[in-house]
Structure 1
Amino acid sequence: MFDPDRRTIPAQPPKAGFAAGPSKLDAIRSVTLSLVYLPLARPISDAKVLTGRQKPLTQVAFLFCEIVSEAGHSGLGFSYSKRAGGPALYAHACELADNLIGEDPNDTARIWDKLCWAGASVGRSGIATQAIAAIDICLWDLKAKRAGLPLAKLLGAHRDSVACYNTSGGFLSSSVEEIRDAIDHSIASGIGGIKIKVGQPDPMIDLRRLDAVTSHIDGRVPLMVDANQQWDRTTALRFGRLVEPLNLEWIEEPLDAYDAEGHAALARELATPIATGEMLASADEHMALIRADAVDFIQPDAPRVGGITPFLRICTHAEAKRMRLAPHFAMEIHLHLAAAYAHEPWVEHFDWLAPLFNEELEIKDGRMIVPARPGLGCSLTGKARDWTVETRSFGV
């Protein structure tokens, strides 16, 4: 018979995300959050627009996080949203920010768990993780600055430069002539690869555009294509077989982002590598791709998956599978993360974000150079401040 007086329940270990221990080195003094809208020079369309699922992109919303510690260290981080979600990112981050005051900014993993639990009612993906991302990236920037190291060096860099390809010149809103001009400009500026958009309702139009672009590149640099999730499995397989003689670097997002089984089948059937992952908003969602051997190139986006902390978890599992890495967008962050990845990666060059930052990333001989500046090596311009529509500070 059970006697409660003679039994004891083992003590439970401290849970992640709660009080810091005696090794606390510093404390977060203040947090400032800002919602910024970056206007684009012209409306941008990919396959999601041509299939009627979305409207052309005219601006990008950014959530910026700036943190200052009691010891005088500071960090800058950001996440973003296209077409919708900017105000929600900002609102959720504001709900979480008070949880940061007094925390040791070096405890990035513990703080990530704490914030995730603080917002558990809205889940562990989507807006919830993307709001945490700006804070997490800011803390990693602060940590690297405190060490006096570029973030890539803090993480343990494998290389000081990363092969880079351009996407911003290859959208479906651009004519073939405009894409040709953009290709020439990119190659002249040192870009090492070109990606163009496909996935239109009529695949034959894609094939004609691809043929024109391939002829123009004439083997000067690798070429990638991106269907932005707009094909079904049959169309993706047929298109993939037709373009195999072109020796493409990869076919990106041929299927729905969550169709790990379909991507895995394509990866088995086609010689052309398969890439996807940019639309997934958590580390766990990427695990489905990794477990299924669904990609040759995995494409996590640190601002979408919750920041650098979960991004590194994805990389650990992808490295074990010998997958290549090609992070999506936000080259200011992903250059450092790609430089620290074991297997030779790509980083995506977008010139859209240039007005936000005072510093310009160097590109030479097809590769983007890791800056020697501490942290991410970025600071906000006056224009970024001018485009701020809301801002709020905590702890001051």
Structure 2
Amino acid sequence: MTPYVANQGEATLDRISWLKLSSVTLPLSTPVSDAKVLTGRQRPMTEVAFLFVEVGTEQGHEGIGFSYSKRAGGPGQFAHAKEIAPALIGEDPSDIAKIWTKLVWAGASVGRSGLSTQAIAAFDIALWDLKAKRAGLPLAKLLGAHRDSVRCYNTSGGFLHTPTEQVLENATASLADGIGGIKIKVGQPDGKADLRRLTAVREHLGDDVPLMVDANQQWDRPTAQRMGRALEEFGLTWIEEPLDAYDAQGHAALAASLDTPVATGEMLASVAEHWELLRHDAADIIQPDAPRIGGITQFLKLAALAEHQHVQLAPHFAMEIHLHLAAAYPYEPWVEHFDWLEPLFNERLHISEGRMHVSSRPGLGITLSEQARAWTQAVHEVGSRP
């Protein structure tokens, strides 16, 4: 059966003819633990599952995008993507918002957030990559960049499974590599252990290096209030996820009571969920994740709302995508540096003087490596490649 395609006029110059979906499992060299592991809510993380989408058109243009899942969910994303992929065949790749809506309706009974829209995100990001490549522009420039580089901070060196001395060594190495800030995990059952660890890191870095902490939603409201007051003396750039991700009112009360900025948002899976934070003034810094909220189309909607509310931006994870989106945000943002994904791609991002730089490569500027192909668990193709 030929998929339904809405009428298109002479302005349609190209059509989607081919899609390749790949389920890729990235193994982590060391099991990773944050506060969710120490409180018994999760097991250490040993791998990250990716859904890659490659899209091609009749005119020979191609794009690539991805979504991901930590712990459970990767096979589900791949399965949902397989079901909805035929809906793209024959569509104009420029009509990205229209295609996003079509894909949502293709799986409307499973909702407009969570696993279903995270699967859609991989298609959406691939189409934006294709559009920028066809224009011969980096994605940031296609969107309209406010800057060619973005402040960056490292997270991967500060997890709770890492001994404090190693955290200090990791921080030194990150700064030597040109990264501008350091984030460490907190939220241990014993808050005094967090304070000892943080004291060591701040003394090691000095007062001038931006320092952030992340509690990964493991404090209740009274604990967050007590810890927030105790953390004021460290001059933190922000306290991240001090409370449950959906506790907008709790975050609002905490943010109003502290001098230290409060950041949250990474675990939310739609623009609507982020709007709850924004309308309650629940975050000084919002941390959306484009693959989690449905892709770049949805991220741009959220960015406009955040700008309207005069909120700062620090997108979560996936720096290969978020560098471009942060570069296009009006207020000076931050991008999170993780080196975990580097084996998946042939290219590397340039970092110097505390900033991550947008390259001149068109689109996202990434291509899949042979290692990524070797880690591929399943492949599904729709249509025919020109």
TM-score range, shorter chain: over 0.9
Distance in 2 separating the partners of 1:124 and 1:67: 23
Instruction: Give SS of 2:127's match.
Output: helix
Q: CA deviation at 1:20?
A: 4.6
Task: Find the counterpart in structure 2 of residue 5 from structure 1.
Answer: none
Task: Find the counterpart in structure 2 of residue 390 from structure 1.
Answer: 378
CA deviations over 1:205-261 (Å, ceiling 9, x no partner): 111101111111112410000000000011001111111121100000000000000
Distance in 1 separating the partners of 2:310 and 2:381: 43
Distance in 1 separating the partners of 2:169 and 2:333: 26
Q: How does 1:264-303 map to 2 (within 5 A)?
A: 264-303=252-291
Task: Determine whether 1:24 maps to 2:21.
Answer: no
Letter in 2 for 1:72: G
Task: Find the counterpart in structure 2 of residue 177 from structure 1.
Answer: 165
Structure 1 runs (4+) deviating above 2 angstroms are: none
TM-score, normalised via structure 1 length: 0.95
Task: Find the counterpart in structure 2 of residue 364 from structure 1.
Answer: 352
Task: Determine whether 1:327 maps to 2:323.
Answer: no
Task: Find the counterpart in structure 2 of residue 8 from structure 1.
Answer: none
Of residues 197, 203, 219 in structure 2, which corresponds to 1:209? 197
Letter in 1 for 2:304: T
Distance in 2 separating the partners of 1:345 and 1:270: 21
Instruction: Give SS of 2:246's match.
Output: coil
Distance in 1 separating the partners of 2:13 and 2:224: 53
Task: Find the counterpart in structure 2 of residue 97 from structure 1.
Answer: 85
Unpaired runs of 5+ in structure 1?
1-16
Alpha-carbon RMSD across the aligned residues, in angstroms, is 0.9
CA deviations over 1:353-396 (Å, ceiling 9, x no partner): 01000000000100000011000000000000000000000012
Distance in 2 separating the partners of 1:364 and 1:219: 20
Distance in 1 separating the partners of 2:112 and 2:8: 26
Q: How does 1:124-163 map to 2 (within 5 A)?
A: 124-163=112-151
Aligned residues: 380
CA deviations over 1:123-159 (Å, ceiling 9, x no partner): 1111011000000000000000000000000000000
Is contact 2:62-2:130 (8 Å) kept?
A: yes
Distance in 2 separating the partners of 1:281 and 1:20: 32
Q: How does 1:205-284 map to 2 (within 5 A)?
A: 205-284=193-272
Task: Find the counterpart in structure 2 of residue 306 from structure 1.
Answer: 294
Distance in 1 separating the partners of 2:359 and 2:100: 26
Q: CA deviation at 1:21?
A: 3.2
Is contact 1:251-1:275 (8 Å) kept?
A: yes
Is contact 2:232-2:259 (8 Å) kept?
A: yes
Task: Find the counterpart in structure 1 of residue 53 from structure 2.
Answer: 65
For the pair shown, the structure with the greater C-alpha radius of gyration is: 1
Is contact 1:265-1:294 (8 Å) kept?
A: yes
Of residues 72, 77, 91 in structure 1, which corresponds to 2:65? 77
Is contact 1:18-1:114 (8 Å) kept?
A: no
Letter in 2 for 1:215: E
Is contact 1:63-1:134 (8 Å) kept?
A: yes
Is contact 2:5-2:91 (8 Å) kept?
A: no
> What fraction of aligned residue pairs are identical, expressed as a percent?
67
Q: CA deviation at 1:24?
A: 1.4
Q: 1:94 to 1:367 in 2, by over 3 A?
A: same
Task: Find the counterpart in structure 1 of residue 362 from structure 2.
Answer: 374
Unpaired runs of 5+ in structure 2?
none
Letter in 2 for 1:104: D
Q: CA deviation at 1:202?
A: 1.0
Instruction: Give SS of 2:340's match.
Output: coil
Distance in 1 separating the partners of 2:302 and 2:8: 27
TM-score, normalised via structure 2 length: 0.97
Instruction: Give SS of 2:47's match.
Output: strand
Instruction: Give SS of 1:383's match.
Output: helix
